Amino acid sequence: MRREFKLPDVGEGLTEAEIVRWHVKPGDQVKVNQIVVEIETAKSIVELPIPWDGVVSGLMADEGQTIDVGNPIIAVDTEPDVVPDTGPEGSTEAVPSPPAEGAVEPGVHGSPAPKEERQAVLVGYGVKTGPTKRRARKPATPPPAATVASPAPAAPPPAVAAASPAPAAPPVSTPAPPSAGPARGAKALAKPPVRKLAKDLGVDLTALTGTGPEGSITRDDVHAAAAGATPVAAPQAPPQRGEERIPVRGVRKMTAQAMVASAFTAPHVTEFLQVDMTETMEAVTRLRALPDFAQTKVSPLLLVAKAVLVAARRHPMINSSWDEAAQEIVVKHYVNLGIAAATPRGLIVPNVKDAHELPLPELARRLGQLTETARAGRTQPAEMAGGTFTITNVGVFGVDAGTPILNPGEAAILAFGQVREMPWVVGGELAVRRVTTLSLSFDHRIVDGELGSLFLRDVGAMLEDPLRMLAWS
C-alpha cells in the first residue's frame, strides 16, 4: 500500500518550509518515528519523523525546494493493515479507518482506541476521528480528435456505421481563442495567504493570470484585480557580472520581517556606557578554577547576563511589553533571557526560560547549551518563543558598540561590545584597564530616559565591581 506523507504545520500557522536534507532515499526501510528529513521553516530547522513502517518508494521534493504545508513530500510502501477505500471510480488511495465507536485516539479526550484498531501516528498530526471525505476527481480530458469548433452530430447506430464503406473524413478542429486566465473550475496556483487575501477582497482566482514563479498568483495580482487593473508580469533584469542572488526565505525572511516590524512600530532610543571590566575579567578567571564550573564554559557574557538579571529585578519596567490591542503595559516578573546568535541561515534569538531563578553554575550551563544548539542549527521554535529581554554579544566579532533593534515584543535589548585594553583614569592616575562599551536600546513608549539610564548605570556598576551582584541580589 502506497502512502504519502504530507508536510505538516510544525509551527504556529506556517504555510511553507524548505527541504534542507533527506536522511533516506528510495528503497530504504523506515520505521515508525524514524527521522527522514530536515526542513527549515520561518523559525528554525526541524526534523520530521515518518508515521509508518515500510519502504521508501519515492521522494517527492528535492533538497533546497520550498514546499507548501499540506503537499506530499515522501511516499512509503506499507503493509496493508487497513482495507483500501475503493470509491465509485475505483480509487485505491489509502485512507485510515476511523476508530471504533466510543474509542478515541490517544491525545484526544477519552480513552485509547482498542489495540486492534490502533494505528501508529505522529504526535500533533494523528488520524482524524471524523468521517473521511474524498475530493471529487476531475473529469477526464476528452481526446484531441473529439475537439471541434461546433457540436458534432450524434454517432450513427453500430449497424449503420458498419455498413458504410466510405472512410470518415478526419475531424477538423478550430483553435480556441486565447484565455485570459485558467479555465473555469481549474484550481488556481496560489499559496494559502494569497487565497485568503483573495477571499477577503472578493477576487476570483480562477479568472486571474499569475505573474509569479511558474504562473502562480501573487498578492500584487490579487490587489490589482481588486482595483480593476490587469496584472502585468514585471520583466526580470538579467544578472550582472559579479553579482549573486540569494533567495530570502526561512529564518532570514522571518528575521527581516520581525526587524522591520519592530523598527517601525516601537520608537527606539539607544544609550551608551563605557565600563571598566578589569574586575569582572579577573572574576571570570577565578570562576573557571572553581569545581562548580569544571565542565562549563565561563565567559564574560555570563556575568553580563547575571548583571542584567539583577538590574531587571531592581527596575521591573525594563522587562515588559506593550499590548497595543489592550493599550496596556505588561510587566513580567520573570525573565526569559534571550541571547542573539548568528547562524549560517540567519540571526536567531533562543532564550533561557526563567533565567532569574537559576544559580550561576546552572545559568552558565544553560547559556552554553543554548549557544551549541544554535550553532548546530537545532534550535526549536519553542526555544525562541516567549523571550522578555535580549543580550547581543557584538564583541565576539571585534565590534565596540552598536544600536541594536528590539526583539519584537520586548522593551529593551543590550549590546555587549568587545573587551579591550584602553587607557583609563584610576584614582587620579592613568592606567591600562580592560574596557567595554554597553549599548542599551529601549522602547520609548515604555522606558523613558531616566529608567533606561538607571538600568544601564546599574549593569555597568556591577561589571565594574562584581560584588555588587551579591549585594543587590
**Is 312 found in the same domain as 444?**
yes
Measuring CA to CA, how many Å separate 51 from each of 34, 45, 103, 121, 123?
A: 8, 19, 20, 5, 9
Q: Are 278 and 374 in contact (CB under 8 A)?
A: no
Residue 386 included in any domain: yes
Residue 380 is predicted with a pLDDT of 84
Residue 154 sits at the vertex; the CA angle it makes with 151 and 160, to the nearest 5 degrees, is 145
Residue 78 included in any domain: yes
Residue 141 included in any domain: no
**Is 326 found in the same domain as 216?**
no
**Is 272 found in the same domain as 218?**
no
Residue 276 included in any domain: yes
**Is 282 found in the same domain as 201?**
no
Decide which of 69, 98, 127 is a domain's last residue: 98
* Annotation says 315 is catalytic: no
Residue 187 included in any domain: no
What secondary structure, in 3-state letters, does the chain show?
A: CEEEEECCCCCCCCCEEEEEEECCCCCCEECCCCEEEEEECCCCEEEEECCCCEEEEEECCCCCCEEECCCEEEEEECCCCCCCCCCCCCCCCCCCCCCCCCCCCECECCCCCCHHHCCCCECCECCCCCCCCCCCCCCCCCCHHHCCCCCCCCCCCHHHHHHCCCCCCCCCCCCCCCCCCCCCCCCCCECHHHHHHHHHHCCCHHHCCCCCHHHCECHHHHHHHHCCCCCCCCCCCCCCCCCCCCCCCHHHHHHHHHHHHHHCCCCEEEEEEEEECHHHHHHHHHHHCCHHHCCCCCCHHHHHHHHHHHHHHHCHHHCEEEECCCCEEEECCCCCEEECEEECCEEECCEECCHHHCCHHHHHHHHHHHHHHHHCCCCCHHHHCCCCEEEECHHHHCCCCCCCCCCCCCCEEEEECCCEEEEEEECCEEEEEEEEEEEEEEECCCCCHHHHHHHHHHHHHHHHCCHHHHHHC
**Is 219 found in the same domain as 295?**
no
Residue 145 is predicted with a pLDDT of 44
pLDDT (tens, 9 = 90+) of the chain, 473 residues, equals 889 999 988 766 677 888 888 999 999 999 999 999 988 876 677 889 999 999 999 999 988 888 888 899 999 998 765 444 444 444 444 444 444 443 433 333 333 444 444 444 444 444 444 444 445 555 555 444 444 344 444 444 444 343 444 444 444 444 444 444 454 445 678 877 778 788 878 888 888 888 877 778 888 888 888 776 444 445 555 656 788 887 777 777 777 878 888 888 889 999 999 999 999 999 999 999 999 998 898 999 999 999 999 999 999 999 999 998 999 999 999 999 999 988 877 788 999 999 999 999 999 999 999 988 888 878 888 888 899 999 999 999 999 999 999 999 999 999 999 999 999 999 999 999 999 999 999 999 999 999 999 999 999 999 999 999 999 98
Angstrom distance (rounded) from CA 114 to CA 108: 14
Residue 135 is predicted with a pLDDT of 52
**Based on C-alpha coordinates, what's the Rg of the chain?**
31
**The whole model's pTM is what?**
0.57
Residue 139 included in any domain: no
**Is 330 found in the same domain as 221?**
no
Residue 414 is predicted with a pLDDT of 97
Q: Are 237 and 212 in contact (CB under 8 A)?
A: no
Residue 50 is predicted with a pLDDT of 92
Among 23, 223, 268, 444, the active-site one is 444
What does the chain come to in residues? 473
**Is 201 found in the same domain as 309?**
no
Q: Are 273 and 450 in contact (CB under 8 A)?
A: no
**Is 440 found in the same domain as 303?**
yes
Neighbouring CB atoms inside 10 A of 113's CB total: 20
> C-alpha cell of 118?
490502533
Question: Number of folded domains in the chain?
Answer: 3
State the residue range of the domain holding 219. Answer: 192-226
**Is 287 found in the same domain as 213?**
no
Its sign, for the CA torsion 443, 446, 448, 454, is negative
> C-alpha cell of 439?
549599548
Q: How far is CA 342 from the centre of its chain?
A: 16
Measuring CA to CA, how many Å separate 412 from each of 15, 324, 354?
A: 30, 17, 17
Nearest of 46, 37, 116 to residue 76 by alpha carbon: 37
Decide which of 45, 65, 98 is a domain's last residue: 98
**Is 275 found in the same domain as 214?**
no
Residue 433 included in any domain: yes
**Is 298 found in the same domain as 196?**
no
**Is 330 found in the same domain as 277?**
yes
The domain spanning residue 386 has which CATH number? 3.30.559.10
Angstrom distance (rounded) from CA 301 to CA 436: 12
Decide which of 98, 126, 142 is a domain's last residue: 98
Residue 398 is predicted with a pLDDT of 93
Residue 235 included in any domain: no
The domain spanning residue 222 has which CATH number? 4.10.320.10
The domain spanning residue 8 has which CATH number? 2.40.50.100
Nearest of 396, 379, 287 to residue 338 by alpha carbon: 379
